[in-house]
Amino acid sequence: MKDSVDQLLQHGITAHKARQIQDAEQFYRSILQKEPNHADANH
């Protein structure tokens, strides 16, 4: 089962806080593929 957008966002935020920027970017890009206008993933 694929992660929901909310789960992907939480993973992205966690990776970002851990300074794992490349990992965070992958999570945010996954969100944008599902929801191109997602406000939090666009920042």
What lies within 8 Å, CB to CB, of 2 at 6+ separation is: none
Q: Is the full-model pTM beyond 0.85?
A: no
Counted domains in the chain: 1
Q: Note the pLDDT tens digit of each residue in 1-42.
A: 357 999 999 999 999 999 999 999 999 999 999 998 888 877
Sign of CA dihedral 18, 39, 6, 22: negative
Can you give the residue range of the structural domain that contains 4?
Answer: 1-43
